Amino acid sequence: MAEDTGNKNLERKSIGSELIIPVAALLFTIYYFYTIIDAPWTAQVAAFIVGSILIVLIMLFLAKCIRSIILGEGTLNFDTIINPKSFLIKRLGLLVLTIAYTFVVSSLGFTITTFIFLFMAMLLLSDGHKKRFIFSLSLLLSLGGYLLFIVAFKTRFPAGPFETLMKGLF
Amino acid sequence: MEYDLFFFGELFIHTFSYWWVIIPAIFLGLVVGAMPGFSAANTIIILLPLTLAMKPEVGLTFMVALYASSRMGAGIPAILFNIPGTAGAAATPLDGYPMTKQGRGQQALAMSFVASISGGLFTTLLALVALPWLSQVAYYLHSVEMIVIMFFGISLIATIAAKDTLKGLIAGFFGLMIGFIGSDAVYETPRGTFGFLELYDKIPLIPALVGLFAISEAFAFIEKQHIALEDDQGAVPRTGWTQTLEGVRIAASKWWLITWTSLIGLVIGVVPGAGASIASFVAYQQSKTFSKTPELFGTGHVEGLIAPESANNGVTSGTLVPLLIIGIPGGATAAIMLVVLQYHGVTVGPDLFMNNPELAFGPFAAMAVTYTLMILTALPLARYMSKITVVSTIYLAPIIISFTLVGSFVPRGYLFDMNLALVFGVIGFIARKTGYHVAAILIGVILGPLLEMYFLRAMKMSQGDVMVIFSSTIGNTLWVFLAISLAIPYIMEYRRKKRNSILESND
């Protein structure tokens, strides 16, 4: 009996997850309309046409979602986003590391930040195994990236203490 | 001046003598094309001191070879990792990546290379012959006609996301609204910018591309050990040269598809600003519409991979047509070529064909030679490139995230763009998990600013009358084609269902 209920829940569509994009689109469209309210007509027309079509589409989708909830075909959960739960911690950890990367790279520069990020992210995903290999790989990739992009291609990457120190050499 | 076979023959032989410039440019182009954020245009800018120091025809040959090979290179990460190297390859992963996941990465790369090389070579030779007529296309397309073409692009979204058209349309129109962010072209009023100065100049395309495809995909594929299909023990089956040869054979058997989809690319490439992204999506949609097996599109279908790849390489030769004939570059790379030519005192236009035909036809000859040399240089690489899909996702995901994230910083040099890529990454991840096609959002972001620009122009000309979009004969003809193109999939689906029900009732 309990298994049946579980299977039924699995079969049901995760409406909560499916509503994230339409709700975000709706909120953004309303905000966009607010920012063009005083603009000249010619500058509003494209956004009003496209935005209005988008709102109609979202309303149609909402109606479809409500119908599937009433018919018992869907539930208001977020399972599609969260599942598989065994990877949730790793995924959140990777997200935190990625956010940290975007903030730290401005002060530590490309090479050091990339090394730290690669090392920590690979360690997280491998459950802490192969520490030495991951350390060497992270070092090799960050230095390789520095040589290829900054030294060879002269690409404008975020600079930090390492790049400043090496500037005298290359 | 009369151009005969002898003239073109001599031109090709002369261009072959520049192999020492073309071959390094091919490899460089494959590398920069494969890295999101590193376009051929950026690389040519970096190497500008080198190209300016060369003789005009050598510099031009180098740039053309780099441009053509980077277009092909952009398909490599699109097939192997679901990360298009440029927006022009955004339609490639729709069927290329599922093939990789099925363990057919090598075959997909070989097919993509054959489609790119054949499509590029065919359209280059055709452009060479039809140069005077092709140049006329750009004269007939004004803002009203371009609006219809943009809507054509948007309508593709519904077809691409065939599993749920409504979701596809929501994703596409959401992308369009995101594409409207920034100051408007006429009044410079900031719209939808959330107060960020960095967004006044529209949504930058590279962070959107990096976030929607690379970051979101990296977060999604950590659930698997490898990208490629695994056996029961979690290992990836080994393959030799068989897959490459099979890929070549399959692509060669689809020669007609390559021919007509590359023609789509050539015609769209002639229109300044239209670009490879539109061409590849148009080709994808059209090949699906006329396919005998449209239901297989999106599942790793050969036709779904060949069509966009031959079309975006068809664009490459198309963009050179308005550049050389009327001096209007069809894209960023063509614009840089114009700068280099002007630096050398070369004036493009009809006079160039009269006074210096070797230089005028030279870029097309260089492109044809590049595509020919790619058969020998790039095609054998498919086997080795595909090996990367057997690398564990433990290592691939962090590498992809860090290198593409920092790649989004490159075009403008704003740290803000890295955060923007992350935001797009989150949107892309949710979209992927919930069945909203990320390609639909991206095509919206690409077309949004273009659609708005043409709308503004049309509104200005008509003094605010919206009905102007139905005021041109060509435009109205295109509207009819658009309606037909939207209706055909439904008609074909209806006919298929009817046929099946008749067959079932007979059984």
Return d(Cα B476, Cα B435) in angstroms, integer. 34
Whole-number pLDDT of residue B43: 66
The answer to whether B240 faces chain A, any CB pair under 8 Å, is no
Whole-number pLDDT of residue A143: 94
Return d(Cα B298, Cα B275) in angstroms, integer. 23
Give the up-direction half-sphere exposure of residue B366: CA atoms within 13 A in the CB hemisphere: 29
Q: Are residues A127 and A159 both part of a single domain?
A: yes
Pick from B274, B227, B264, B194: nearest CA to B99: B227
> For A151, which DSSP code?
I
Torsion over CA: B150, B155, B156, B158 (sign)? positive
**Do A75 and B177 form a contact (C-beta atoms < 8 A)?**
no
Whole-number pLDDT of residue B330: 60
- Which residues, listed in sequence order, are joined to residue B59 by a DSSP beta bridge? none
Model pLDDT for residues B408-417, shown as the tens digit of each residue? 888 788 999 9
Give the up-direction half-sphere exposure of residue B60: CA atoms within 13 A in the CB hemisphere: 28
- The confidence band for A26, taking pLDDT boundaries of 50, 70 and 90, is very high
CA distances from B317 to B104, B124, B398 (A): 30, 5, 37
Residues of chain A numbered 25-64 and touching chain B (CB < 8 Å): 25, 28-29, 31-32, 35-36, 39-43, 45-47, 49-51, 53-54, 57-58, 60-61, 64
Whole-number pLDDT of residue B42: 61
Is the Cβ pair A46, B456 closer than 8 Å? yes
- The confidence band for A52, taking pLDDT boundaries of 50, 70 and 90, is very high
CB-CB neighbors (< 8 A) of B196 in chain A: none
- The confidence band for A3, taking pLDDT boundaries of 50, 70 and 90, is very low
How many other CB atoms are found less than 10 A from the CB of residue B194?
10
Q: Which helix (H) or strand (E) holds A74?
A: strand A74-75
Q: Are residues A89 and A147 both part of a single domain?
A: yes
Buried b (16+ CB within 10 A) or exposed e, A127-142: eeeeeeebeebbeebb
B164: Cα separation from own chain's centroid: 24
- Domain regions of chain B by residue span: 5-230+237-506
Nearest to A61 among B166, B398, B433 (CB): B166
CB-CB neighbors (< 8 A) of B403 in chain A: 114, 145
Whole-number pLDDT of residue A2: 43
Return d(Cα B320, Cα B68) in angstroms, integer. 11
Token representation of residue B482 = 């658009």
Return d(Cα B389, Cα B97) in angstroms, integer. 11
CA angle (A40, A46, A50) in 5-degree steps: 135
Q: How much of chain A is helix, strand and coil, in % rounded to 5? A: 80, 0, 20
Whole-number pLDDT of residue B382: 74
Q: Are residues A90 and A121 both part of a single domain?
A: yes
Model pLDDT for residues B417-446, shown as the tens digit of each residue? 999 999 999 999 999 899 887 878 887 887
Helices (H), B329-381: 332-343, 350-355, 357-377
- The confidence band for A161, taking pLDDT boundaries of 50, 70 and 90, is very high
**What average pLDDT does range A6-27 have in this prediction?**
80
Question: How far apart, in Å, do the first and last CA atoms of chain B sit?
Answer: 69
ipTM: 0.91
Pick from A67, A52, A55: nearest CA to A22: A55
Is the model's pLDDT at A96 over the cut of 70?
Answer: yes
Pick from B66, B376, B78, B112: nearest CA to B261: B112
Query: Is there a cis peptide before residue A84, judged by omega within 30 degrees of 0?
Result: yes
Whole-number pLDDT of residue B35: 67
Return d(Cα B152, Cα B436) in angstroms, integer. 20
Q: Spell out, as residue ranges, where chain B has pLDDT lower than 50.
A: 1, 232
Whole-number pLDDT of residue B347: 76
Q: Find the residue in B nearest to A133 (Cα).
A: B395
3-state secondary structure of A18: helix
Whole-number pLDDT of residue A107: 92
Q: Are residues A90 and A162 both part of a single domain?
A: yes
Pick from B378, B329, B320: nearest CA to B123: B320
A53: Cα separation from own chain's centroid: 27
Domain count of chain A?
2
The answer to whether A5 faces chain B, any CB pair under 8 Å, is no
Number of helices (H), then strands (E), belonging to chain A: the values are 8, 2
Treating both helix axes as pointing N-terminal to C-terminal, what angle do B242-253 and B302-326 enclose, rounded to 10 degrees? 70
Amino acid at B185: A
**SS3 per-residue string spanning B76-106:** HHHHHHCCCCCHHHCCCHHHHHHHHHCCCHH
Residues of chain B numbered 156-195 and touching chain A (CB < 8 Å): 166-167, 169-171, 173-174, 176-178, 180-181, 184, 186-187, 189-193
Whole-number pLDDT of residue A63: 95
Return d(Cα B262, Cα B310) in angstroms, integer. 5
Is the Cβ pair B466, A64 closer than 8 Å? no
Return d(Cα B254, Cα B306) in angstroms, integer. 8
The answer to whether B145 faces chain A, any CB pair under 8 Å, is no
Nearest to B451 among A46, A51, A145 (CB): A46
Which residues constitute the domain of residue A13? 2-82
Q: Are residues A102 and A161 both part of a single domain?
A: yes
